[in-house]
């Protein structure tokens, strides 16, 4: 496994979390501890294991692709933080 | 005596004999809740008018007709909040019913309220809730376990006849053990997850928390079975889980894994478990020592697999379509970042960070992939063990309920609370916890019975044989 030294600020950015400097330090220490603990997985011989799907024996079960009743526009929008004219209002992404 | 103290089976008899009306049942539970819940805080949300309205219309000819059930606040119930005990879902109203809710309604159940939990089911103590901690009915200075701590406390304190919880790494069984009730985690794929807010999709299962084994069997029967809206929900026939209750266990082989009796286990928990094992022998079962050699790797494997899945599942909480959105942000990325920072609690952030790290470029093979492969070894251990026994008996948790605040600053210590339950989820098996004694200070101790995939009938049969020949389940917490 890689050497420890987790860049919490970078990982938080990947996870879209804006953390305070205090959180970055605390989480950094705690994650180091957890990662040190999970290093024990290196002791297990996994060379011959091939993952065939996640759960061997399970198969995808697809249903036929036919229309079923879904949420109405009103229901879909009922929890929107901001909405207008039947649409979700979201922050601008293009200048 | 108030009917709040009844099991489902007892209540159904009273209802069918017209000794009590469903509205009286709801009223007696609401009375009980108003007298004990200020101390326990098992419920996040109650809608008494709606429960009384359903009680008036209850159809007693249905299997759960007139029976109030509490629901963990992570399962969507149309028209009600589903907060997952998180600020990020404050104000969210579920626009649809989960499949298990549709099935409970169809079976005649009355939905009583939403129970507290660790935020997004991440925790083992119900202390990670944005709405405050739930307390253990047997000792108010202790945790009820978690993450389904509200459901377990509500059932144990007779604030509900029964409840639904969810179990990703022990979240039904461990609180059931801490609170002295029955908790059943079904085989992965037995119960539809449609409408359950996902934590770790390859591990999550919904299951019952009840006052008796027979109730757990009945409630499972009502919610189990294939669902076209969840393609991991398997077509395996859902049998009558009550069918084998009462059949003797003479001649059945029960495995006792040597790796589960190691240092760190509380002496009173070990003694109670050993005594339960002798009890099974007296009932005619054959006890065989077995080995699950990869047991000590289960927590490490779990905390990579579960957090990786959680980091992906929780990406949906971005403040765009539902839930909280941070105000006054300049751009999209700041909106995401601040929404999630303000909305999520510390444990959720910690797990998202760990999961994101485990999946990130350069670390995927070393962490996530390795954890998945170790998971295969853990599963193989059980498959081999079940060649020599029909069920496995272990303690549910290495300790009885711990004190509030005792482990909140040490995440790793908190994770170790799940050491005996986590492997079951990694292997996709079924398992239940039932009371098997009390400590000298009066805290319940739970016994775990693990079965192969799809063998809920067997573990219920074994649990029933134990329950019916002991009286632990008849004790009541000293709340009055």
Identify the residue among B78, B80, B354, B416 best suited for mutation to test binding to A, counting A beta carbons within 10 A and taking the highest: B354
d(CA B84, CA B121): 7
pLDDT at B15: 98
Under DSSP, the state recorded for B369 is: I
Residue B147 appears among annotated catalytic residues: yes
pLDDT at B438: 98
Per the residue annotation, which of B86, B125, B147, B397 is the catalytic one? Answer: B147
Query: What is the interface pTM, i.e. ipTM, of the complex?
Result: 0.91
- Helix, strand, coil shares, percent, chain B, to 5: 40, 15, 45
pLDDT band for position A55 (50/70/90)?
low
DSSP for B316-337, written as a single string = G-SSSSSS---SS-SSHHHHHH
Following CA atoms B100, B78, B80, B137 in sequence, which dihedral angle do they give, to the nearest 10 degrees? -10
Domain positions in chain B are 3-249+459-474, 297-373
DSSP helix/strand/coil, B11:
helix
Nearest-CB residue to A34 (from B231, B303, B362): B303
Q: Is A37 on the interface with B (CB under 8 A)?
A: yes
Q: Is B267 on the interface with A (CB under 8 A)?
A: no
pLDDT at A53: 61
pLDDT at B409: 81
d(CA B88, CA A17): 13
pLDDT at A68: 86
Q: Over its length of 480 residues, how does chain B's per-residue pLDDT go in tens digits?
A: 689 999 999 999 999 999 999 999 999 999 999 999 999 999 999 999 999 999 999 999 999 999 999 999 999 999 999 999 999 999 999 999 999 999 999 999 999 999 999 999 999 999 999 999 999 999 999 999 999 999 999 999 999 999 999 999 999 999 999 999 999 999 999 999 999 999 999 999 999 999 999 999 999 999 999 998 998 888 877 789 999 999 999 999 999 999 998 778 999 999 999 999 999 999 999 999 999 999 999 999 999 999 999 999 999 999 999 999 999 998 999 999 999 999 999 999 999 999 999 999 888 999 999 999 999 999 999 999 999 999 999 999 999 999 999 998 888 888 888 999 999 999 999 999 999 999 999 999 999 999 999 999 999 999 999 999 999 999 999 997
d(CA B274, CA B125): 26
Domain positions in chain A are 8-43
pLDDT band for position A3 (50/70/90)?
very low
Q: Is A71 on the interface with B (CB under 8 A)?
A: yes
**pTM score:** 0.96
- Model confidence over A7-44: pLDDT tens digits? 999 999 999 999 999 999 999 999 999 999 999 999 99
d(CA A88, CA B7): 46
* The token pair that represents B154 in the structure block: 């509500």
d(CA B78, CA B93): 7
Per the residue annotation, which of B124, B129, B148, B171 is the catalytic one? Answer: B171
Question: Which residue in the block uniquely carries the two structure tokens 């991440």?
Answer: B122
The count of residues in chain B is 480
Question: Cα B393 vs. chain centroid, distance in angstroms?
Answer: 18
Residue B171 appears among annotated catalytic residues: yes
Which of B88, B73, B212, B231 is CA-nearest to residue B147? B73
Strand partners, B255: B288, B392
* The token pair that represents B458 in the structure block: 């067997």
Collect all residues with Cβ–Cβ distance below 8 Å to B371 and sequence separation of at least 6. A38, A41, B300, B301, B302, B304, B305, B308, B358
pLDDT at A59: 67
Closest-CA distance of chain A to residue B305, Å? 11
Nearest-CB residue to B95 (from A19, A71, A92): A71
Question: Which residue in the block uniquely carries the two structure tokens 């079962």?
Answer: B285
Question: Which residue in the block uniquely carries the two structure tokens 């065989």?
Answer: B288
Size of interface A-B (CB pairs under 8 A): 150
Residue B18 appears among annotated catalytic residues: no
- Tell me which CATH code domain B3-249+459-474 carries: 3.90.1300.10
d(CA B164, CA B216): 10
The 10 Å Cβ neighbour count of residue B106 is: 12
Helix (H) or strand (E) run with residue B215 in it? helix B213-223
DSSP helix/strand/coil, B270:
helix
d(CA B174, CA B51): 29
Closest-CA residue in chain A for B320?
A90
pLDDT at B262: 78
d(CA B219, CA B209): 9
For the four alpha carbons of B302, B307, B312 and B315, in that order, the dihedral sign comes to positive
Closest-CA distance of chain A to residue B357, Å? 6
Q: Note whether B80 and B91 are within 8 A (CB).
A: no
Q: Note whether B241 and B457 are within 8 A (CB).
A: yes
pLDDT band for position A58 (50/70/90)?
low
Nearest-CB residue to A71 (from B93, B96, B352): B96
């Amino acid at each position: 496994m890689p050497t420890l030294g987790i860049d919490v600020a970078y990982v938080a950015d990947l996870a879209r979390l804006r953390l305070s400097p205090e959180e970055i330090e605390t989480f950094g220490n705690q994650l180091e501890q957890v990662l040190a603990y999970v290093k024990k997985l290196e002791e297990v011989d996994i060379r011959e294991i091939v993952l065939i799907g996640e759960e061997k024996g399970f198969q995808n079960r697809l249903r036929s692709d036919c229309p079923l009743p879904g949420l109405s526009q009103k229901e879909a929008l009922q929890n929107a933080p901001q909405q207008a004219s039947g649409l979700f209002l979201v922050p601008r992404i293009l200048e | 005596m108030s009917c709040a103290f009844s099991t489902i089976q007892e209540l159904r008899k009273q209802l069918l004999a017209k000794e009590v009306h469903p509205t009286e049942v709801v009223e007696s539970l609401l009375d009980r809740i108003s007298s004990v819940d200020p101390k326990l805080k098992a419920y996040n949300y109650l809608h008494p008018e709606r429960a009384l309205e359903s009680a008036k219309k209850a159809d007693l000819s249905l299997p759960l007709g007139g029976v109030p059930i509490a629901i963990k606040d992570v399962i969507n119930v149309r028209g009600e909040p589903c907060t997952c005990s998180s600020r990020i879902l404050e104000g969210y109203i579920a626009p649809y019913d989960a499949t298990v809710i549709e099935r409970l309604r169809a079976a005649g159940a009355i939905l009583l309220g939403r129970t507290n939990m660790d935020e997004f089911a991440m925790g083992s103590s119900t202390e990670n809730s944005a709405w405050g901690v739930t307390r253990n009915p047997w000792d108010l200075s202790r945790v009820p376990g978690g993450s389904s701590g509200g459901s377990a406390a509500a059932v144990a304190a007779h604030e509900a006849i029964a409840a639904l919880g969810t179990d990703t790494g022990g979240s039904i069984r461990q609180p059931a053990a801490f609170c002295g009730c029955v908790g059943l985690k079904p085989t992965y794929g037995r119960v539809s997850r449609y409408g359950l807010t996902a934590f770790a999709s390859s591990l999550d299962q919904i299951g019952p928390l009840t006052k008796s084994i027979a109730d757990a069997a009945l409630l499972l029967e009502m919610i189990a079975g294939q669902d076209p809206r969840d393609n991991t929900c398997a077509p395996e026939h859902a049998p009558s889980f009550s069918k084998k209750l009462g059949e003797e266990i003479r001649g059945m082989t029960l495995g006792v894994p040597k790796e589960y009796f190691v240092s760190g286990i509380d002496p009173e928990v070990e003694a109670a478990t050993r005594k339960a094992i002798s009890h099974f022998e007296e009932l005619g079962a054959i006890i065989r020592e077995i080995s699950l050699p990869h047991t000590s790797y289960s927590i490490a494997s779990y905390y990579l697999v579960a957090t990786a899945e959680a980091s992906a599942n929780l990406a949906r909480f971005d403040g765009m379509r539902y839930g909280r959105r941070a105000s006054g942000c300049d751009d999209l990325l700041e909106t995401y970042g601040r929404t999630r920072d303000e909305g999520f609690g510390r444990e959720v952030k910690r797990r998202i960070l760990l999961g994101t790290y485990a999946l990130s470029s350069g670390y995927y093979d070393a962490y996530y992939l390795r954890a998945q492969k170790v998971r295969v070894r853990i599963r193989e251990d059980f498959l081999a063990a079940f060649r020599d026994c029909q069920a496995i008996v272990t303690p549910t948790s290495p300790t009885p309920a711990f004190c509030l605040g005792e482990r909140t600053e040490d995440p790793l210590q908190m994770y170790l609370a799940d050491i005996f339950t986590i492997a079951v989820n990694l292997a996709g098996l079924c398992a239940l916890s039932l009371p098997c004694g009390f400590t000298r200070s009066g805290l319940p101790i739970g016994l775990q019975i693990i079965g192969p995939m799809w063998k809920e009938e067997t573990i219920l049969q074994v649990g029933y044989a134990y329950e019916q020949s002991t009286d632990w389940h008849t004790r009541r917490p000293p709340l009055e």
